[in-house]
Amino acid sequence: MRLLNTFLGLFLSTLVAAQQQADTLGSRTMDEVVVTATRTPRLMGNLAIPVNIISSKTLYQSGSLRLHDILAEQTGINIIENFGKGVQVQGLSSEYTLILIDGEPLIGRTGGVLDLSRISVRNIRKIEIVKGPSSSLYGSEAMGGVINIITDRAGQNKSDVSLRYARFNTLDGGFNFSRKMDKTDWLASFNYNRSSGYSLKPNAQQQTVEPFWRSVQQVSIGHQFNEKWKAGASLRRNLSQIDNTIVVQNQGASILSKGYERNEEYNFTPYLNYQASPQLKTVLRAYLTGFDARQELSVKNVVGNYDDRFRQSFHRLENQTDWQIRKQSAFTIGAGNILETVASNRYDSLSTKRSNNISYLFLQHEETISPKLMLVAGFRYDANKAYASVGSPKLALQYRYNDNLSFNLSYGRGFKAPDFRQLYLNFTNLAAGAYSVFGSEVAVGELSRLQSQGLIEQVSALASRLSALKPEISGGWNGGLKYKSGKNLLVTLNLFRNDLRNMILTDIIAIKKNGGQIYSYFNLKEALTQGLEFNADKQFKQLSIRVGYQFLHTADKEVTDAIRSGKIFARSLETGLANRMKLSEYGGLPNRSRHTANIKLGYETPKEQFLTLRAIYRSRWGTFDADGNGLINRDDEYASGYVQVNVSAGFPIGKRLKWMMGIDNLFNYKDIINLPGNPGRNGYMDLQFTF
């Protein structure tokens, strides 16, 4: 985020520069500047909520190319393969986690999932991960957490070119060109990534991952007019195309059809900063982003090609003012307006544009009550046109017991707005059972239309409850401690609990005369996720050891109640007979692993020669129901747990050239069914030239 520069002022920039030279891990982490937690630059050690930072050095040394590569190695984060690679934070799925790029939200989700492989982590300065609800600052989707990808800074007078070759004909290359000319900061970056894909099932007609290419282009400019005024803009474009080969069953014959899937995304962020005084600054920024997904398939000898189009736009204008009232008090106020539109032939037709308008206001106050006690209170109100309005409070406390030990406690509310699919979907499947799904905003109209045509057999009792959907809400507690010993040891512990309500599910509103069921969306489900996250980082001279562990427990509250009252049955794997299910048999929400852990060893000489070894463990997770009760309870309903080991090594050649190589998934762990996105062992070589 280039506006940061101004925010920080000269003082903080020199501070940051000084920290980047500090080589010890404890001090490095605690003194890192974080912007995502409070929307203002704050030192990591002063934050009252759990935050993790991934530095550009970690990104480079881990050999990560795409966002899911690096997130998969972080404690408490799981990558779930469903409509691409989605993130799971504190047991909450991708739709409840906000992904920001330079502080602005990415759009273009499929089934609620934002595919992380869309995002290149080349030309990234750092990634900040805030756990727990942050809707008090960011609004919708910030329930499980916020992941902010901060791209390279403009005006660094540093440029590089990189090239990588990896298995499956994977080529990744690009440049990053950053210059400071007088009072103007420039940055231009480009990344291109291609692969021939791979096939996990031999002799299959379609590959597991089809050939694809992706490209990211970014230009940023910032100009400092004088001490008070700065303006700038950033334009980013992200393109990707993947071949699509699908075997279509038609009249009993399987027909190979060819096509492609193409995603185009752009983000434009102009801003204007005004530093009224050292204590008062304000920024006006706009954010215009669009996402256009297209899928085309041509099927031989079949009339009518398949064409799926989804176009989304998100335009926002926002003002944020930060006021340092006194040394111990800081106040932030912001307000904005969002106009969101979607047009898709999944809903009705491309010419029908659905839109939603959101106005919001947020406030935050930080107060250092005593040298030991710090408090942050925040509140945001989102007023919407298309669904019920929502207020999101947050309160966080930090207590410093001494220089080494501090305790944190926070409570926040998060929400997720109903998406366009839940509001406007108008879908009838003529092939499979003639069922229909109607979004909540169109359901009443569609139902009465079908009734007047005499096509409805029976209307369910739920139909009378059709009303405007409410946002899904979570209440999240986080509490823990940070312990720092000298400069070489950092231990963090965080206990969390998220209670979710108003979760949106589909249910039957009517049955058609032809037997087809009609579904719509309701705020029905309540769930909880809770657990513990532990991280320990220890630095010995040239060796660093990082250990992380998360324990996670999740449950659908209605299911828990039903099990307690003896209403749920299970079929024993051994006897094949049904019995009443015990609470201890309930495996919680699908796709959740009870235990996840990682160990990362790093070795680095003063000459920047390095070696890393990272092992990531994930215990079994529920995948599907096998005994007919719709729940995860039996041993055969889980995917098996696994360990993945990644290694990398590198060294500089001369002053300008850096060479590295690595092997991901060294022991070639594969699970064709549950981890189709894991191709097995994958080696790569990487060259980077800095000038």
Partner 1 sequence: MRSTRIIGGMFLAMAMFQACEKNETTQPQSTLVQKTIANIPADTIVGLVNGQPVGAGKYTFYSLESNSLVASSDSNSLKWDIGMRGTAIITNGGNSGPGAGGAFVYVGTFDELKTIPADSVFRKDNAPVSYAIPLGSNKGWYVYNPITTLITPVPGRVLVIKTASGKYAKVEILNYYKGGVTPDATASDADKLTKQRYYTFRYSYQGNGSTSFQ
Q: Which of 385, 513, 580, 656 binds partner 1 (CB under 8 A)?
A: 580
Stretch that binds partner 1, among 115-123, 532-540, 568-576, 609-617 (CB under 8 A): 568-576
Span near partner 1 by CB under 8 A; candidates 85-93, 224-232, 332-340, 574-582: 574-582
What 8-state DSSP symbol labels residue 424? H
* Shorter beta-carbon distance to partner 1: residue 444 or 508: 508
Q: Count residues contacting partner 1 (CB under 8 A)?
A: 24
Q: Report the residue number, 427 or 569, with the smaller CB distance to partner 1.
A: 569
By CB under 8 A, is residue 205 in contact with partner 1?
A: no
Residue 429 in contact with partner 1, rule: CB under 8 A: no
**Residue 119 in tokens:** 């995002």
Nearer to partner 1, 553 or 571 (CB): 571
Q: Based on CB atoms, which residue is closest to partner 1, 168 or 569?
A: 569
Burial of 566 (C-beta count, 10 Å sphere; 0-12/13-18/19+):
exposed
CA dist., res. 78 & res. 312, Å (int): 27
| Binding test (CB under 8 A) with partner 1, winner from 328, 355, 485, 579 | 579
* CA distances from residue 306 to 82, 117, 296 in whole angstroms, order as listed: 22, 25, 6
Q: Which stretch binds partner 1 (CB under 8 A): 87-95, 98-106, 358-366, 573-581?
A: 573-581
628 binds partner 1 (CB under 8 A): yes
Distance in Å, CB of 574 to partner 1, minimum: 13
In contact, 607 and 668? CB cutoff 8 Å: no
Pick the stretch among 33-41, 65-73, 404-412, 562-570 that binds partner 1 (CB under 8 A): 562-570
What are the angstrom distances between the C-alpha of 429 and each of 161, 257, 518? Answer: 50, 20, 10
The stretch among 285-293, 416-424, 566-574, 595-603 that binds partner 1 (CB under 8 A) is: 566-574
- Judge whether 187 and 178 are in contact, CB under 8 Å: yes
Q: Measure Cα distances from 97 to 138, 393, 494 in Å.
A: 11, 17, 18
Single out the segment in contact with partner 1 by CB under 8 A; choices: 345-353, 555-563, 565-573, 594-602.
565-573
Residue 306 touches partner 1, criterion: CB under 8 A: no
Q: Which of 110, 206, 241, 629 binds partner 1 (CB under 8 A)?
A: 629
Edge-first strand listing for the sheet containing 104-105:
51-55, 124-131, 145-151, 97-101, 104-105
Residue among 10, 21, 182, 252 that touches partner 1 (CB under 8 A): 252
Selected binder of partner 1 within 203, 249, 370, 452 (CB under 8 A): 249
* Dihedral sign from CA coordinates of 148, 285, 268, 422: positive
Residue in the structure block whose two tokens are 């001490």 = 227
Pairing of strands 354-370, 373-384: antiparallel
Closest of 143, 90, 71, 97 to residue 553, by C-alpha: 90
Polymer length in residues for the chain: 691
Q: Return the number of the residue (115 or 627) whose C-beta is nearest partner 1.
A: 627
Among residues 500, 559, 568, 616, the one that binds partner 1 under rule CB under 8 A? 568
Distances (CA, A) of 405 to 75, 483, 485, 574: 21, 5, 9, 51
Q: In the complex with partner 1, which residue's Cβ is closer, 233 or 459?
A: 459
- Judged by CB under 8 A, which of 427, 569, 669, 689 binds partner 1? 569
Is 202 a binding residue for partner 1 by CB under 8 A? The answer is no
Closest CB 212 distance from partner 1, rounded Å:
25
**Cβ atoms 529, 503 nearer than 8 A:** no
Q: Which stretch binds partner 1 (CB under 8 A): 220-228, 414-422, 551-559, 618-626?
A: 618-626
Phi, then psi, of 227 in degrees rounded to 5: -60, -25
624 touches partner 1 by CB under 8 A: yes
Q: Counting contacts by CB under 8 A, is residue 111 touching partner 1?
A: no
Min dist CB 578 to partner 1, Å, is: 4
* Site residues (CB under 8 A) for partner 1, limited to 652-691: 672-673
Work out which of 256, 276, 578, 643 binds partner 1, going by CB under 8 A.
578
Report d(CA 588, CA 554) in Å as an integer.
5
As a whole number of angstroms, the distance between CA 549 and CA 545 comes to 14
Looking at the Cβ atoms of 169 and 579, the one nearer to partner 1 is 579
For residue 585, what is the DSSP state? G
Alpha carbon 261 to chain centroid distance?
22
- Return phi, psi of residue 168, to 5°: 65, 35
* 52 neighbors 74 (Cβ within 8 angstroms): yes
> Which of 539, 414, 444 has the alpha carbon at shortest distance from 486?
539
Q: In angstroms, rounded to a whole number, what is the distance separating the alpha carbons of residues 119 and 409?
A: 32
Comparing CB distances to partner 1, the nearer of 373 and 673 is: 673
373 binds partner 1 (CB under 8 A): no
Out of 613, 626, 666, 685, which residue is the one contacting partner 1 (CB under 8 A)? 626
Q: Quote the least distance from Cβ 508 to partner 1, whole Å.
A: 11
Binding test (CB under 8 A) with partner 1, winner from 277, 371, 577, 584: 577
Query: Least distance to partner 1 from the beta carbon of 30, Å?
Result: 46
Return the number of the residue (576 or 606) whose C-beta is nearest partner 1.
Answer: 576
Beta strands in 557-668, from DSSP E residues, in sequence order: 569-571, 578-580, 595-604, 610-618, 621-622, 638-639, 642-653, 657-664
Shortest distance, CB of residue 565 to partner 1, whole angstroms?
13
- Residue from 21, 203, 251, 453 touching partner 1 (CB under 8 A): that is 251
Q: Where are the beta strands (DSSP E) in 387-451?
A: 390-400, 405-416, 426-428, 436-438
Which residues are at the interface with partner 1 (CB under 8 A)? 249-253, 432, 568-571, 576-580, 624-630, 672-673
